[in-house]
């Protein structure tokens, strides 16, 4: 199961308590104060990892609590620091608290999201010229407690956008080793897929998202829910089923542009091309030239099923990346 949104509750460890203690040894029945400080509470740390792909593991565990710092000891011994808790997330995860961005994990790194409490001071810390035998100590500070939202935005170079059953998954399976679900009916793809592509001396990652339908910006279908996964991409390939003819191609293109615009104007600023798929079912073989006059961008005619025209699309991506 692919999970790309979740909420977790984190609680850093409290600081350990300082103690009241006096030095008591043979021949020194009334020694000075020697109560040690408490240890620091454990932190909650989130780390971005390349080898983690989804937020699925948070389905089973959403509460994370770090250890409390140890209490101080006699003879000025400081308590042990509480053990930190490290939480691994995929690269591309955005961490927020109440809508405020805490961190965006675009590379492998670790960030403290909840800090453990400071340890309380023991009575030795309160000794002064006017108070030689203090009988006070401090409790440790409480650790930070937060409710965090995690949202995964896949990191890919190329995004595939299209209506359901346009052939995006077939195209991805042809150009990469990805094996998404493929079937001749809409909504086969219910979660994003990533494919690793090697072309000439270049490597890039392609993201296939569930199909968009008209009205997605108003909550219909699955596509808009996953459009955030192509926000980070550099290029967009608009995969369109060419088998229904020129007028349907134009209508489909307008739907895709409208829904992307309603989601984010930034998607329209990305470099894009139109890929007319299922050309093995089309009699009008020069339909791509007609479409190009309408869309004002590069247009490629392919058949992902028959593996026609794939090389030209890969060459376009390769040249755009140089």
pLDDT at 51: 86
For 28, phi and psi rounded to 5 degrees?
-140, 70
Angle at Cα 53 formed by Cα 188 and Cα 316, nearest 5°?
A: 65
Rounded to whole angstroms, how far apart are CA atoms 160 and 158?
A: 7
**Domain 5-152 superfamily per CATH:** GTP1/OBG domain (2.70.210.12)
Surface-to-core class of residue 160, CB atoms within 10 Å of its CB (0-12 exposed, 13-18 middle, 19+ buried) = buried
Rounded to whole angstroms, how far apart are CA atoms 165 and 188?
A: 8
Q: Which of 52-61, 231-240, 247-256, 304-313 has the lowest mean pLDDT?
A: 52-61
Q: Dump pLDDT digits (tens) for 74-90.
A: 999 999 999 999 999 99
% of the chain exceeding 70 in pLDDT: 89
Rounded to whole angstroms, how far apart are CA atoms 76 and 211?
A: 65
Q: Dump pLDDT digits (tens) for 168-224.
A: 989 998 998 766 444 443 444 456 778 889 999 888 889 888 777 666 555 555 555
- Per-residue H/E/C for the chain: CCCCEEEEEEECCCCCCCCCCECCECCECCCCECCCCCCCCCCEEEEEECCCCCCHHHHCCCEEECCCCCCCECCCECCCCCCCEEEEEECCEEEEECCEEEEECCCCCEEEEECCCCCCCCHHHHCCCCCCCCCCCCCCCCCCEEEEEEEECCCCCEEEEECCCCCHHHHHHHHCCCCCCCCCCCCCCCCCEEEEEEECCEEEEEEECCCCCCCHHHCCCCHHHHHHHHCCCCEEEEEEEHHHCHHHHHHHHHHHHHHHHHHCHHHHCCEEEEEEECHHHCCCCCHHHHHHHHHCCCEEECECCCCECHHHHHHHHHHHHC
pLDDT at 224: 55
Q: Dump pLDDT digits (tens) for 251-260.
A: 999 999 998 8
Considering the domain 158-321, what is its CATH architecture? 3-Layer(aba) Sandwich (3.40)
pLDDT category, 44, cuts 50, 70, 90? very high
- Per-residue H/E/C for 66-86: CCCCCCCECCCECCCCCCCEE
Domain boundaries, the chain: 5-152, 158-321
Instruction: Give me 123's structure tokens.
Output: 């009575």
Q: Dump pLDDT digits (tens) for 4-25.
A: 789 999 999 999 999 999 988 7
């Amino acid at each position: 199961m692919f999970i790309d949104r979740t909420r977790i509750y984190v609680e850093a460890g409290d600081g350990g308590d300082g103690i009241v203690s006096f030095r008591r040894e043979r021949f020194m029945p009334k020694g000075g104060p020697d109560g040690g400080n408490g240890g620091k509470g454990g932190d909650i740390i989130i780390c971005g990892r390349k080898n983690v792909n989804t937020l699925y593991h948070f389905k089973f565990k959403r509460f994370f609590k770090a250890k409390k710092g140890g209490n101080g000891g006699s003879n000025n011994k400081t308590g042990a620091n509480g053990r930190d808790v490290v939480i691994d997330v995929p690269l591309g995860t955005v961490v927020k608290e109440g809508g405020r961005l805490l961190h965006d994990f675009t590379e492998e790194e670790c960030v403290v999201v909840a800090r453990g409490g400071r340890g309380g001071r023991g009575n030795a810390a309160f000794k002064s010229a006017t108070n030689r035998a203090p009988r006070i100590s401090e409790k440790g500070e409480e650790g930070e407690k937060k409710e965090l939202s995690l949202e995964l935005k896949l990191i890919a170079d190329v995004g595939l956008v299209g209506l359901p059953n346009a052939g995006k998954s077939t195209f991805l399976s042809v150009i990469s080793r990805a094996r998404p679900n493929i079937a001749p009916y809409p909504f086969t793809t219910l979660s994003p897929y990533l494919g690793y592509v090697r072309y000439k001396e270049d490597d890039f990652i392609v993201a296939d998202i569930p199909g968009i339908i008209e009205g997605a910006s108003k909550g219909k279908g699955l596509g808009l829910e996953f459009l955030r996964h192509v926000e980070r991409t550099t290029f967009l390939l608009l995969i369109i089923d060419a088998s229904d003819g020129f007028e349907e191609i134009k209508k489909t293109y307008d739907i895709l542009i409208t829904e992307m615009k309603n989601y984010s104007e930034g998607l329209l600023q990305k470099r894009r091309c139109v890929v007319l798929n299922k050309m093995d079912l089309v009699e009008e073989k020069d339909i791509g030239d007609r479409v190009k006059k309408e869309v004002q961008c590069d247009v490629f005619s392919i058949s992902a099923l028959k593996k026609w025209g794939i090389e030209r699309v890969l060459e376009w991506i390769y040249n755009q990346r140089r």
